Structure 1
Amino acid sequence: MVFKRLLGSLGVGGPTVDTVLTPGVAVPGGSLSGQVHLLGGTDDFDIEHITLEFVARVGAEHEDGESHGAVVFDRFLIGGGCRLPAGAEHSVPFTVTLPWETPVTELYGQGLGIVLGVRTELSVAGAKDTGDLDPLVVGPLPVQEAILEAFGRLGFGFRSADLEYGRIAGTGQQLPFYQEIELAPSPKYAHTVNEIEVTFLATPGDMEVILEADKRGGLFSDGHDAVTRFTVSQDGVHHQDWNALVDGWMRQLVEHRAAYGQHAAHGQDYGHGHGYGDHGDHHQHDDGHRSGPGMGTAVAAGAAGVAVGVVGVVGGMVAAEVVDEIGDFFEGDDEEGGEGEGGED
């Protein structure tokens, strides 16, 4: 999919920018390639810089509920310092590396409702255009897919996925937001938990896996959230008994009975995955082979019902103009890009 836009800052006769991504599904920590095609306008222009930005639609909770806005989570300078003659064509090839924590937008070929984009910014004679935007499709790393497959084989089902603004305390999180993949509990755990939320925080060698359970209350107790963290290696994925590993994680998660807010540490070791203690806090924010039976079908059914759209903007997250600019893309209504300018807060 290609988006074109006239350099509105310079009016009619300005150059146009057309970014084409190499077809295929990217993965966290992997490379993304493509070409930025420039077409000169009616006059000669000096191209000061060409920048790529990775943009995500992110939700944030606040006193009035939850809103969604756009966050720029990485940017790359890929060109500039050249003169573009009138009517001339010029192409700039690029290869950039995605952050390891880049969210997964599809599983088993099904979109999850996670919206990522690659936006091209062109700076000419002191004016900037940020209108060229392409959707970014990201698939899971092998270890992420193996863990989700294990959940599916254990009887868990996919419900939804979203991005939450903020940081998870006590982790090595790098991005200003994290992804939550919500799973329906298997029959084995349905009487204990309402849902499971899975968050992956990848590094070049390891993967932090954060599991959060919305635990049901008992006859004499209220329900509460329980959280556990584990670290697994990204190597040797095909030599691990993921069913046993994930089931062990779930047993530790549901058996925990610590009070809300207590920080207890467990040193349990499951294979090459190391368990870290439950943090009763609900993700504290520091902002101030193929699927086994069940998961593939569940992802297809669940993803089909995921709504995508911008419903607002969170104060302090990003300028409102950015949401206006990419709102049409998020809504899926306009293949020519939106209007406006903005930047990351």
Structure 2
Amino acid sequence: MALRVETALMGPDTDQYAGNGQNRPTLARLAQIARQMEDLGFDGLTTPEAGHDPFIPLAIAAEHTSKITLGTNVAVSFPRSPMIAAQSAWDLQNLSGGRFTLGLGTQVKGHNERRYSTPWTSAPGPRMREYFQCLRAIFQSFQNPEQPTYFEGQHYRFTMLPPFFNPGPIEHPKVPLYAAAANTYMARLAGEMCEGLRLHPIATFRYTKEVILPAVAEGAAKGGRAMADFDLIGAPFMALGRNDAELHASKEALRKQIAFYASTRSYHTVLAHHGWEDIGLELHRLSVAGEWAKMPALISDEMLEEWAVIATYDRLAEAIKAKSDGLFQTVVLVLLGEARNDLDLLRETVAKLHQA
């Protein structure tokens, strides 16, 4: 099965997951990476919201590329009103010539309230449903200024758009919407209302097959949509190396990354599916105590096998296909350390993943 392949612009690295800060991007470096990834054959370039704004780098990437798709992976929804998100998406869709995709995620209550200063007014699922509905109404109103489409819901209300504030029609008005998901509600919602789902890497391959895919199918059926048209994007954890010694070091680094995410209680449904509830609770306790260095040791080799693609460089594409076949239409190469800068490896892997 041929796969679309994406990679990250400004993706987090090992030190960031370990709580040791992150690099500061420059305009020149962002432009260089964007051109480089397009030249290597990647189908898509994405930006996370991991300490930096996810929209601004894509404007730089749009200027310096011509074919590669550009998307947020993902922007946090609730701190932005639907209008704020819609304006950023509309401008990027216009600047990129129709290559932009809007990926949105809710983040958890604690981060919304304590990091973003955003009230957590209700359960995230129903609120996210209205967010997507409101976005669609705003996009339609941008494209048809003479006949605006308004939306009134319990959580969001869009009932005014004077001509002065309407950016006006663009050549490619359909902005594909992607929901970030690691649970069944969001998976169903994506299947019903979105062009695709950006699967959180915390979802293991088995959890994706047994829990996420059935939920997406249920949502698609409710929305009268065909699963064949749905883009499920996987971003599996990866441990890579040229030899056994490098592979061992990569696995140790990956334990930090997985422990970081597995400490979040909102993701513990995944751990529960595998019988790892107690480990999740202990990871959460350690994270609250700021004892980040103790967390990686709780991630066993068995857990790594469930979560990650583990391979030497020469077997990377084959290993990804073996675990992704029948699950994903698109895969994100989430590479850390040396592998991220090995351009020959990236070019060869992308080419192999494109092969049926």
Same fold? TM cut 0.5: no
The structure in which a higher percent of residues are strand is: 1
TM-score, length of structure 2 as denominator length: 0.25
TM-score, length of structure 1 as denominator length: 0.26
Structure index of larger Rg? 1
